[in-house]
Chain A
Amino acid sequence: MDQHFARTDMLPPMPPPVTERGAIKWGRENLFSTPLNIALTVLGVGIIWWVITASLPWWLNSVWTASSLGECRDIVAASAGEGATGACWAMIRQWWGAFIFGFYPPTEWWRPILAFGLLFAALSPVLFSGQTRNLTLILGVVLVFLVGTLWLAEAPALAFALSVALVVGLLALAQVRPGLTLWFTVAYPALCFWLLWGGSVWGPLVAMAGFAILYGVFRFGSPFIGLAPAAGAGVVAAVLWWLYLDVPVVNSLQSMLPFSLRSINSDQFGGFLLAIVIGVTGISFSLPIGILLALGRQSDMLIVKSLSVGFIEFIRGVPLITLLFTASLLLQYFLPPGTNFDIILRVIILVTFFAAAYLAEVIRGGLAALPRGQYEAADALGLDYWRAQRLIILPQALKISIPSIVSTFIGLFKDTTLVAFVGLMDPLKGVTQIVRADINWKGIYWEPYIFVGAIFFVICFGMSRYSMYLEKKLKTDHR
């Protein structure tokens, strides 16, 4: 009898023991693996519990409709019993306009909104040069944003139609000749200035013309008198244009073709509008200065190098707040007697210097990260210094530095809150201070701070995630 006990069919697999599956396994591995981990988990749960129990009633008892803090507190007391605490968000309903736009007239709110939307339209050609798909995506988002927000802000029909037409036009251009969208980026600063400050459209346009003159003189002069003299002549011509011809030309154009928006004083800027204006202009002005400083610091020329180092280290060595006080108290000592321009512009100048010093260090990092071979290859091709920088070195160095530039921008954006100390209406302290001086809302402090903090968090967190994404995307081969 041939007996064998071999199985002919597989046993069905047993379910894993209780401790090795599902939530319990996950918990054992991730929360309770060692005594230390158990202690930490308990501690963590304790902290979460404490935070929730301490603040939950306050959030739950929120009041959204009231006309003063006293009324708010009465409502909380009536609904949740005597002694209960509750947030009073009704203040935000009354003051949100000031937190976002400062005292920018509500009928003109569509202008900063439009400028903000178009900022992304202007940035996209730089970020995605010539990539039709990404350009289309961004411009589409901008279009949807603008249609929604401009409608909410009750923009005049003409402005609404023009801005939609502009973005649709850009979209169409992006499909056909994506490279040409860069011209919009070039024109954007003038457009943005005009939208925000209003006045005659010719002011910014004529000022921009100065750059066209600079370029024209340089371009047409260089074959005859050489590169460097042509550049010098260009600068001189542009400066002369700005100093002597700018104002009369603007005036005559304005009288011929009066096309202007209601002019808005910069003292009406405030809230996040102010923070974004200072942050974005600071970063964009400082980029070229930062590049020059970084190149200067890398330079072999002793004097250029030591001046760059001196500037960078000085600015980085003093707190931003002293620079802001310089803008407010000292700048006028250094300018010709009688010179006077408004505090926002002075703050922007100093913030630009500040950002330039930090950007210079960031870009220097990018330059240092480039393999030596790139410089040598550029030399081997016989490129001169500027061509080598423009064609070989800077495109790569800037690409590596983009994530750090974004984080510098985040830092700068957060630091714009400090302008409150020189009397400007930043969202965090300036506007909040005015709200707290309002007779109806005297004694309120948590709500405005939490509101402003939450907006800052959303913006900065979004940007930092984006820069991490960029970092991952750009990290191709530089190791």
Chain B
Amino acid sequence: MKKSVFFGTLAATTLVSGLAMAGTLDDVKARGELICGSNTGLTGFGAPDASGTWAGFDVDLCRAVAAAVLGDATKVKFVPTTGETRFTALQSGEVDLLVRNSTWTFSRDSELALDFVAVNYYDGQGFMVKKDLGVSSAKELDGATVCIQTGTTTELNLADFFKQNNINYQPVTVADDSEAQRQYLAGACDTYTTDASGLAASRATMPDADNHVILPEIISKEPLGPVVRHGDSAWGDVVRWTYYALLVAEEKGVTSANVSEVATSTADEEVKRLLGISGDMGAKIGLDNEAFKNAIAAVGNYGEIFSRNIGEGTSINLARGLNALWTQGGLQYAPPFR
């Protein structure tokens, strides 16, 4: 008898999704909800709290997109994906957008038929070791046991690095960040390698942070960013320009607190265009003209998101570094809003 419910739902969902497929933007609008692929739990970047509310650096980007498209930052459904299921979830249309510390690489862009629309965090792979190990460079790690997270680019980078330097290692693959930390703290591996941001975050939350050092070598480039399906440029544009809007907002000093005030008082033409006072920037990509203003009002500008979730003063305690604005010596650079 339960089959009825099952088939009923099946039929209904098939119908509903049969209508869709026109374009992700229309889908999201029709659904009234953005489905965002997220981490299963990475402190600072994306994790739910005890009441199920998601928070984090990546999560806020999803919220910004939801605010831009739907005018409401809470209309996001987060689908936790593992390192192994994330790209399939995106390709198959299960999620509209994947913001899950995913590295932009050639093969992912081409073979996997994905589009990386921006880089919201410039990262690199590093190593963390215990201080009493007496290691000051990754090249001294000959014969060490290394903890790596599976399903990531770090596996390949690690193999390349040790091969280039002609040294050996014993890999210990682990499934997620908390397990890797447990192993590392228990001494089951000499060093833990992942993105430097992840290392810093881990180190900051360790009870004895002073006993751990992050080695100077950064062995790879890890540009992390939001991913959409290949071939849906309209939707790609929405995500890309929502992200850039957050960057421009920081550049121009527009924050979630002063956005409505700036909107009335600003004389800066670019800010006017950004906030939808003049021009029709939002409408041009199929959104409301106040889309970017909504996004900024909902989650703040890039700098606010950064400092709220992972910046100095939070328990993750990351410096802006490469992710400072280009005006402050970083790499975060938004094309002009024109």
Are A and B direct contacts in the complex by CB distance below 8 Å?
yes
| A255 is an interface residue with CB less than 8 A from chain B | no
A341 and B47 form a contact (CB under 8 A): no
> How many residue pairs bridge A and B at CB < 8 Å?
158
A95 and B50 form a contact (CB under 8 A): yes
A423 and B79 form a contact (CB under 8 A): yes
Map CB proximity to A onto B61-91 as digits: 1 under 8 Å, 0 otherwise.
0000000000000000111111001001100
| A340 is an interface residue with CB less than 8 A from chain B | yes
CB distance from B221 to the nearest CB of A (A): 26
A443 and B181 form a contact (CB under 8 A): yes
User: Which 8 pairs of residues, A with B, have the shortest CB-CB distance?
Assistant: A207-B8, A103-B52, A437-B41, A189-B2, A436-B178, A341-B13, A338-B21, A332-B92
Contact of A265 among B14, B47, B77 (CB under 8 A): B77
B15 and A243 form a contact (CB under 8 A): yes
A207 and B5 form a contact (CB under 8 A): yes
List, in ascending order, chain A residues with CB within 8 A of B220's CB: none
Q: Tell me the bound Cα distance from A380 to B9 in angstroms.
A: 44
Q: Tell me the bound Cα distance from A342 to B12 in angstroms.
A: 12
| A222 is an interface residue with CB less than 8 A from chain B | no
Q: Tell me the bound Cα distance from A332 to B21 in angstroms.
A: 14
Q: Tell me the bound Cα distance from A12 to B43 in angstroms.
A: 81
CB distance from A427 to the nearest CB of B (A): 14
| Known interface pairs A247-B12, A340-B13; 10 further A-B residue pairs with C-beta atoms within 8 A, sorted by A's residue number | A190-B5, A204-B8, A207-B4, A243-B11, A267-B79, A336-B18, A430-B40, A436-B178, A437-B43, A437-B178
List, in ascending order, chain B residues with CB within 8 A of A329's CB: 85, 88
Quick one: given A103-B51, A242-B8, A285-B3, are A443 and B185 in contact (CB under 8 Å)? yes
| B6 is an interface residue with CB less than 8 A from chain A | yes
B9 and A340 form a contact (CB under 8 A): no
A203 and B8 form a contact (CB under 8 A): yes
Contact of A422 among B43, B85, B182 (CB under 8 A): B85
List, in ascending order, chain B residues with CB within 8 A of A247's CB: 12, 15
Q: B residues touching A (Cβ–Cβ < 8 Å)?
A: 1-15, 17-18, 20-21, 40-43, 47-52, 77-82, 85, 88-89, 92-94, 176-179, 181-182, 185, 205, 207, 315
Q: Tell me the bound Cα distance from A208 to B9 in angstroms.
A: 11
CB distance from B200 to the nearest CB of A (A): 14
Contact of B42 among A95, A284, A437 (CB under 8 A): A437
Contact of A193 among B5, B51, B94 (CB under 8 A): B5
List, in ascending order, chain A residues with CB within 8 A of B85's CB: 328-329, 422-423
| A425 is an interface residue with CB less than 8 A from chain B | yes
A437 and B10 form a contact (CB under 8 A): no
A residues 54-104 with Cβ under 8 Å of B?
A: 70, 94-95, 97-98, 102-103
B205 and A343 form a contact (CB under 8 A): no
CB distance from B292 to the nearest CB of A (A): 27
B14 and A439 form a contact (CB under 8 A): no
Most A CB contacts (10 A, CB to CB) among B4, B80, B178 go to B4
Q: Tell me the bound Cα distance from A265 to B9 in angstroms.
A: 13
A residues 401-429 with Cβ under 8 Å of B?
A: 421-425
List, in ascending order, chain B residues with CB within 8 A of A425's CB: 80
Contact of B11 among A105, A242, A337 (CB under 8 A): A242
| A376 is an interface residue with CB less than 8 A from chain B | no
List, in ascending order, chain A residues with CB within 8 A of B179's CB: 436
Q: Tell me the bound Cα distance from A267 to B51 in angstroms.
A: 13
| A165 is an interface residue with CB less than 8 A from chain B | no
CB distance from A438 to the nearest CB of B (A): 7
B207 and A70 form a contact (CB under 8 A): yes
A338 and B17 form a contact (CB under 8 A): yes
Q: Tell me the bound Cα distance from A328 to B21 in angstroms.
A: 20
Chain B, Cβ-Cβ closest to A432: B178
B1 and A204 form a contact (CB under 8 A): no
Chain A, Cβ-Cβ closest to B46: A437
A343 and B178 form a contact (CB under 8 A): no
B2 and A341 form a contact (CB under 8 A): no
Most A CB contacts (10 A, CB to CB) among B6, B82, B182 go to B6
B51 and A341 form a contact (CB under 8 A): no
| A307 is an interface residue with CB less than 8 A from chain B | no
Q: Tell me the bound Cα distance from A345 to B22 in angstroms.
A: 24
Q: Tell me the bound Cα distance from A437 to B205 in angstroms.
A: 11
List, in ascending order, chain A residues with CB within 8 A of B8's CB: 203-204, 206-208, 210, 242, 246
A438 and B49 form a contact (CB under 8 A): yes
B41 and A106 form a contact (CB under 8 A): no
Quick one: given A102-B52, A328-B85, A439-B205, are A433 and B40 in contact (CB under 8 Å)? yes
Q: Tell me the bound Cα distance from A329 to B89 in angstroms.
A: 7
| A445 is an interface residue with CB less than 8 A from chain B | yes
CB distance from A246 to the nearest CB of B (A): 6
Contact of A434 among B15, B18, B41, B79 (CB under 8 A): B41
Q: Tell me the bound Cα distance from A204 to B4 in angstroms.
A: 8
Chain B, Cβ-Cβ closest to A445: B182
| A475 is an interface residue with CB less than 8 A from chain B | no
B47 and A285 form a contact (CB under 8 A): no
B9 and A341 form a contact (CB under 8 A): yes
Q: Tell me the bound Cα distance from A268 to B205 in angstroms.
A: 28
Q: Tell me the bound Cα distance from A267 to B13 in angstroms.
A: 16
A246 and B5 form a contact (CB under 8 A): no
Most A CB contacts (10 A, CB to CB) among B5, B80, B177 go to B5
List, in ascending order, chain A residues with CB within 8 A of B48's CB: 103, 434
A residues 327-372 with Cβ under 8 Å of B?
A: 328-329, 332, 336-343, 345, 348
CB distance from A81 to the nearest CB of B (A): 18
A residues 102-149 with Cβ under 8 Å of B?
A: 102-103, 105-106
Quick one: given A343-B94, A423-B82, are A204 and B5 in contact (CB under 8 Å)? yes
CB distance from B295 to the nearest CB of A (A): 23
Quick one: given A103-B52, A341-B10, A436-B178, are A421 and B82 in contact (CB under 8 Å)? yes
Q: Tell me the bound Cα distance from A288 to B1 in angstroms.
A: 10
A438 and B47 form a contact (CB under 8 A): yes
B205 and A442 form a contact (CB under 8 A): yes
Q: Tell me the bound Cα distance from A345 to B34 in angstroms.
A: 19
Contact of A339 among B18, B49, B80, B182 (CB under 8 A): B18
| A211 is an interface residue with CB less than 8 A from chain B | yes
A98 and B52 form a contact (CB under 8 A): yes
Chain A, Cβ-Cβ closest to B35: A267
CB pairs A–B below 8 angstroms (9 shown) = A208-B4, A211-B4, A285-B3, A328-B88, A339-B14, A345-B13, A433-B178, A437-B42, A438-B47
List, in ascending order, chain B residues with CB within 8 A of A345's CB: 6, 9-10, 13
| A186 is an interface residue with CB less than 8 A from chain B | yes
